[in-house]
Amino acid sequence: MRRRSFLETVAVLFAFSRMRAQTKGLGDTGDQPLAEAAKDFIAALRPEMRSRLRFTIDDAERKDWSNLPHYLHPRKGIQLGELTPAERAAGHRLLQAMLSSQGYYKATTIMALDDFLGSTSDEMRQHYGAQFYFLDVFGEPGGAAPWGVQIDGHHLAVNVTVVDHQVTMTPAHMGADPAVIPSGPHAGWRLLGGETAKGFALRNALTPEQARRAVLMETPPPDIFTLPGRDEALKTPAGVASLQGRQRDLLESLIDEYLGNLRPEVGRSYRAAIQSAGFDKLHFAWMGPPEPGKAMYYRVHGPTLLIEYDSIVPPNTKLPNDPNHIHTVVRVPGNDFGEDWLRRHHQEHHHK
């Protein structure tokens, strides 16, 4: 039997997600479709697999995510590589309910890139691949009590929390290594190109005076600042704010690239919160050179949103300043993991 190529696998997954969105997802509101997908996933699991999903909403595992591969940061829960085809199909339906069609495409491509890394040597195959991603469910989906879902693996972590039927999805991490496949039959295949190109477009639309305020350092940092466990690393926005005209359009387009990965109604709610707080409160900051193709860092930071992007020079690369390793994260200050909602929920129910 002929094995599907990397690109064929991604194309099939993307086509399936688009077909499903056209037939079922339109008009969905609230957490019901997500709850149904989570319940269906649990029901599809064999009993011995289901027993691994005994996490509560207060379990420390809910906040344990990482950008590192599984062999460096071991996960718990349901490993995709251990699922039967029927169980894996239910898992992918849950992923589709968690994300937009764009986000699902990116998520599955991240997993496929891990397959590419695993194909480069026998040793790499032991540590990298789509089989090393984990789906976890916390609490009882669809009930009155808070609950959540998480996908976690190398360069992919989305943390969904549902409180009083409201859905939040941060921290949301997507990364790529390689961001552009450098060789072989899939040379040139690229991920997170929108996040990269739109960042450069906004940086190079700044006036010299604005650039002096936006550029915090001439060299990029080694990684994003709010790595796992460093939720509060960035408290005060820095850079240039109150962008108008074409610059404002570019800023909104950059933000929409990230929010467009999320469940559509969640992305819309985040955008409404930005609008309510004021787009003029958003700061755009940059580190590194302004020339496309170079490693750089940027962030968008305001009262209701934090986006970080960093392109990292891979270890032992022969090309200086080669930006072929990307980390991104989306956070909601004060409400990552639904913390603000959970506090209010517990206070209200305690007083009742």
| pLDDT for position 318 | 54
**pLDDT exceeds 60 at position 25:** no
Dihedral of the alpha carbons of 201, 323, 179, 329, in degrees to the nearest 10? -70
Q: At residue 306, does pLDDT exceed 70?
A: yes
36-50 average pLDDT score: 96
Is the pLDDT higher at 101 or at 293? 101
Q: Which residue has the higher pLDDT, 258 or 30?
A: 258
The reported pLDDT for the residue numbered 27 is 32
The crossing angle, in degrees rounded to 10, of helices 264-277 and 245-259 is 150
What pLDDT, on a 0 to 100 scale, did the predictor assign at position 28?
Answer: 37
Under a CB-based contact definition with an 8 Å cutoff, are residues 323 and 295 in contact?
yes
pLDDT at 252: 98
pLDDT in tens, 323-351: 889 999 999 999 999 999 999 988 877 64
Q: pTM for the full model? A: 0.89
List the domain boundaries for the chain. Answer: 6-170, 193-334
Q: Give the pLDDT confidence score for residue 16 in this predicted structure.
A: 41
Q: Give the model's confidence band at 315: pLDDT under 50 very low, under 70 low, under 90 confident, else very high.
A: low
C-alpha 265/C-alpha 36 separation (Å) is 16
CA 233 to chain centre: 19
Instruction: Read off the pLDDT of each residue in 97-122 and give the average, rounded to a whole number.
Output: 95
Q: Residue 261: enclosing H or E segment and its boundaries?
A: none
Q: What tokens appear for 31 in the block? A: 């957490």
Phi, psi of 141 (to 5 degrees): -60, 135
pLDDT at 146 over 80: yes
Mean pLDDT over 73-90 rounds to 96
Phi-psi map region of 77: left, alpha, beta (phi>0 left; psi -120 to 50 alpha): left
Q: Which residue has the higher pLDDT, 5 or 281?
A: 281
What pLDDT score was predicted for residue 54?
A: 83
- pLDDT of 319 > 80? The answer is no
Distances (CA, A) of 173 to 3, 108, 151, 170, 287: 30, 13, 10, 8, 20
| Nearest CA-CA partner of 150 in 166, 142, 139, 163 | 139
pLDDT, mean of residues 63-92: 96
Query: What per-residue confidence (pLDDT) applies to 91?
Result: 97
Mean pLDDT lowest among 150-159, 167-176, 216-225, 341-350 = 341-350
CA–CA gap between residue 112 and residue 79 (Å, rounded)? 16
Q: What are phi and psi of 344, to 5 degrees?
A: -65, -40
